[in-house]
Amino acid sequence: MKAAVLQGTKQLEVMEWNYPSLSAKEVIVKVKSCGICGTDQHIYHGHPGSAEVQHPIVLGHELAGEIVEVGAEVSSFAVGDRVSIDPNIYCGTCEYCRSNRAHLCNHLQAVGVTRDGGMGEFCVVPEANCYKIPDEMSFEEAALVEPLGCVLHGFKKIQLSSLSSVLIIGGGFIGQLFLQLVKHQNVQSVIVSEPADNKRELLYRLGADEVIHPSKAANLAVDVVIECVGRAESMELAVKSAGKGGQVLLFGVAAPETVISVSPFEIFSKELSIKGSFVNPFTHDEAISLIDKKVIDVQSLISHRFTLEDLPEAMANFPRLSVSKAIINH
């Protein structure tokens, strides 16, 4: 089969790759669509993903497709089923798995991170990680269930009411998903901090009450801040723009070496709650439902579409392409 294989840091090559073999409780999926995540770019540039990466590897953890082969002990799926994939594979026996915190698993594996993923024509996936999708759902939408699931996990960590004022820092794809979820809660106001003028129209269409430049956000004092960028300055801004009793969700994925300067007195005097969010523990079904019911629009958020052959150049030039969300279609 053909796959885009990461041979090492910044070394991506489209080549013939071994067709996957499967165990008794696995299926082989013919990949139809695969999202390119910011984490894929982190891995491409030599940083870890949700788990440590060993080269060579086929990236792609946001994927959907059609089952073409099932293992001998697979009971819930059949050849021809249309599925979206939750990439995270938990051991089930460590202290975190056994205390209802499986996403913090000591032995976390992930499709497209520690084992070959969706940037190939076919992908082998455990039965437990497959989710059937409605007939009317596109494969592009189904591939984007995974990032919505991650956003849902973070979203559940904050408390909102009709009186809440919310600031979302970063108007890219993740910020756009959070914006839709927050707006669905009928909060008092939702502001998006985003420097790129070309995103303003879409952000207003998705429900933003106001879109401001980050330089103005430090003067705010909102109830909830959701940081979706992962840079030191945006995380520091999240703390500054939170009002008394505020909640801060640091969702953006920072580089491992990133450190931030935060005043403990500010956290103390404003009595802030600061939380992180890691991957998407068992939120896939809910994410599918939200897309299926048109509560969340992911299709119109796709800014770029690539083929496998496009990937070496696309991944090398990704920061310069002004990508909001990119999809690989096979």
154-174 confidence digits (pLDDT tens): 999 999 999 999 999 999 999
14 and 122, same structural domain? yes
Residue 252 has pLDDT above 90, yes or no: yes
Domain count, the chain: 2
Taken in order 127, 128, 134, 139, the sign of the CA dihedral is: negative
Separation between Cα atoms, residue 222 and residue 14, nearest integer Å: 47
Whether 42 is catalytic: yes
Can you tell me whether residue 143 is helix, strand or coil? helix
Is the pLDDT reported for residue 280 higher than 90?
Answer: yes
- Model's pTM, two decimal places? 0.97
Kindly state whether residues 39 and 164 are assigned to the same domain. no
With H, G, I as helix, E, B as strand and everything else as coil, classify residue 221: coil
Are 173 and 249 found together in one domain?
A: yes
* Residue that terminates a domain, selected from 235, 258, 276: 276
Burial degree of 64 (CB within 10 A; 0-12, 13-18, 19+): buried
91 & 120 share domain: yes
Same domain, yes or no, for 315 and 232? no
Q: What is the CATH number of the domain that holds 195?
A: 3.40.50.720
Residues 78 and 215 in one domain: no
Q: Same domain, yes or no, for 284 and 272?
A: no
Pairing assessment for the beta strands 57-58 and 11-16 based on DSSP bridges: unpaired
Q: Is the pLDDT of residue 51 over 90?
A: no
Task: Classify burial at 37, counting beta carbons within 10 Å of its beta carbon; exposed 0-12, middle 13-18, buried 19 or more.
Answer: buried
Active site (annotated) includes residue 39: yes
Q: Residue 246 in contact with residue 272, Cβ under 8 Å?
A: yes
Pairing of strands 88-89, 26-36: unpaired
State which of 232, 250, 276 marks the end of a domain: 276
Yes or no: say if 207 and 189 are a contact pair by the CB < 8 Å rule: no
Task: Give residue 46's pLDDT band: very low, low, confident or very high (50, 70, 90).
Answer: very high
Shared domain check, 285 and 251: no
The verdict on 194 and 313 lying in the same domain is: no
3-state SS, residue 241: coil
Domain limits at 319? 2-150+279-329
Q: What is the pLDDT of residues 97-107, one digit of tens each?
A: 999 999 999 99
- 17-36, pLDDT tens digit by residue? 999 999 999 999 999 999 99
Question: What CATH number did the domain enclosing 7 receive?
Answer: 3.90.180.10
Do both 89 and 230 map to the same domain? no
Asked if 166 and 267 sit in the same domain, the reply is: yes
Marked catalytic residue, from 9, 42, 103, 307: 42
Is residue 70 domain-shared with residue 180, that is, in the same domain?
no
HSE-up of residue 254 (Cα within 13 Å, Cβ side): 17
Determine the pLDDT at residue 48. 85
- Catalytic choice (9, 39, 213, 258): 39
